[in-house]
Amino acid sequence: MLTVEEQTQAAPPAGTGAEKERAVQRMFSSIARYYDLNNSLLSLGLHHAWKHQAVSLLDPNDRIVLDVGAGTADLALLTAARLGEKVRIVAADLNRPMLAIGVEKVRKAARQQQIVCVQANAERLCVPDASFDAVTTGFCMRNVGDLTTALREILRALKPGGRLICLEFSRPVAGWLRGLYDWYSFTLLPWIGTKMSGDHTGVYEYLPASIRAFPDQEGLARVMRDVGFTRVEYRNLSGGIVAIHIAVK
């Protein structure tokens, strides 16, 4: 049976990033068992299509893939299905309750020989330099304590020529859609999410606020270039509600 491999790490440094990390982990631990259901409900099922489009950008020859912020292992499982039996995937997430659900999903899919789930911090991945053909990440980067540090770690982990495929919420392109999306995000989403999960930690208020605070499409591309990625591009999905950034080491 696949187990979660817990890595020994130093306590996070004091400061805003560390405080954010602890708060985010508390919130996601509280909703872990409802996470997949609420993802489908709150995205109207669109998150499945978004994730499929992200993994479709992987190179068919990728053989060793790291999924950062793997959560309940959706992207890891889709990657295994797309790339076939030869691919090996490390699904890394800091949140143990979320990852434990991912472990069970991997077991049910009989993908234990391909996917190993590891508890790890995106800012301190504890993997060898230049060891992965590709890195995927889905809806994780806006939750890290320090975005630049996390992207530098991903860059370090990639082989030369390897690619980062980053799926993340972004900024709707059309003004009318931004208004509608803000109303949904700040009014309807917290109400539905709280009702469905019974959670009162504030996670469903945090989620839309984190999206608004995160860099938009061009802003995230600029951060990627600044840390050393090249050939950075992005594709808007659902009018820019979500974007996929592709960047090369």
Beta strands in 123-241 (DSSP E): 132-138, 158-169, 230-237
User: Residue 117: enclosing H or E segment and its boundaries?
Assistant: strand 115-119
User: For residue range 1-22, what is the model confidence (pLDDT) as tens digits?
Assistant: 333 433 323 333 334 677 777 7
pLDDT over 70, % of the chain: 86
Tokens 């959670």, residue?
A: 199
Residue 201 confidence class, pLDDT cut points 50, 70, 90: low
Write the DSSP symbol of residue 33: G
User: For residue range 71-119, what is the model confidence (pLDDT) as tens digits?
Assistant: 999 999 999 999 999 999 999 999 999 999 999 999 999 999 999 999 9
Query: Domains of the chain by range and CATH?
Result: 5-170+215-248 (3.40.50.150)
Strands ordered across the beta sheet of 115-119: 5-6, 115-119, 88-93, 64-68, 132-138, 158-169, 242-248, 230-237
Sign, Cα dihedral of 19, 21, 24, 29: negative
pLDDT score recorded for residue 202: 66
Q: Which one is predicted more confidently, 115 or 27?
A: 115
Residue 153 confidence class, pLDDT cut points 50, 70, 90: very high
pLDDT score recorded for residue 196: 66
